[in-house]
Structure 1
Amino acid sequence: MGFGLMDSLFPIFFFLIFGIVIAMFIVVIVKGAGQWSRNNRAPLLTVDATVVSRRADVSHHMGGAGDAGMSHSSTSYYVTFQVDSGDRMELRVSGKEYGLLAEGDEGRLTFQGTRYQGFIRSIENV
């Protein structure tokens, strides 16, 4: 009786929200594939650089029904390098690399697009 309007609107809202979620997944996948492709086409460069800052980004995730409501976290590590021209770039690094780099370290940075490849500290700074 009173559910006529609700019965007719629910499928519309359901498919609208479902479509938005699917579209968001597609956008994320396309952006990731585009960045991956640009990195692969970029030249592998090695430049003099200085570590100017480091940061860790911790993300918390709530588990689903199979995880019995458990919480998980993951950490992404980033280091900002300054090159001789004064330009700065922030690159994602592994936890091991993050632990080995300190602000003020000088050396040779190797990267490809936005992909960190390595950093060799100058002997004078060791």
Structure 2
Amino acid sequence: MFFESTMFNLVPFFIIIITVIVFGSLLWKITTGINQNIKNNASPVLTVPAQVIAKRTEVRGEHSHTWYYSTFEVESGDRIEFEISGKEYGLLAEGDLGLLTFQGTRLISFDRNR
């Protein structure tokens, strides 16, 4: 009898804890996204010669959403990875040379040399 009454008292506690964790995670994700967007908007727009060094994909989630990434190397030797669209991913090839335009962590464009 004691175990059953204790179990029913703990269920609302666990529901509250799970709700706080879910909403806390959601709030954290939204806050970090807004902060990154503010930092990007405050960053200068740069255009530099670059080369596509690597491409990769990442599949996440139960319903298989795919994220696309490309890594560029600039003249100084620094490498920068950007999340890109599937269309951009398909148009890029490793070794492509061109002008990379970006603002913070946001890729604006990559214009290949012809």
Same structural fold, with TM-score higher than 0.5 when normalized by the shorter chain: yes
Q: How many residues align?
A: 113
| Matches for 1:4-23 after TM superposition, within 5 Å | 4-23=5-24
Match of 2:73 in 1: 82
AA matched with 2:100: L
Mark the runs of 5 or more structure 1 residues left unpaired by the alignment.
62-71
SS of structure 2 residue aligned to 1:49: strand
CA deviation vs aligned residue, 1:75-114 (integer Å, no higher than 9, x gap):
1110000001110010011111111111111110001111
Matched, 1:122 2:113: yes
RMSD of Structure 2 on Structure 1 (CA): 1.2
- What is the TM-score with the length of structure 2 in the denominator? 0.92
- What is the TM-score with the length of structure 1 in the denominator? 0.84
Match of 1:58 in 2: 59
How many angstroms apart in 1 are the aligned matches of 2:7 and 2:65? 41
How many angstroms apart in 1 are the aligned matches of 2:10 and 2:65? 39
How many angstroms apart in 2 are the aligned matches of 1:75 and 1:21? 23
Provide the identity percentage. 50
How many angstroms apart in 2 are the aligned matches of 1:44 and 1:100? 23
Mark the runs of 5 or more structure 2 residues left unpaired by the alignment.
none
How many angstroms apart in 2 are the aligned matches of 1:15 and 1:94? 38
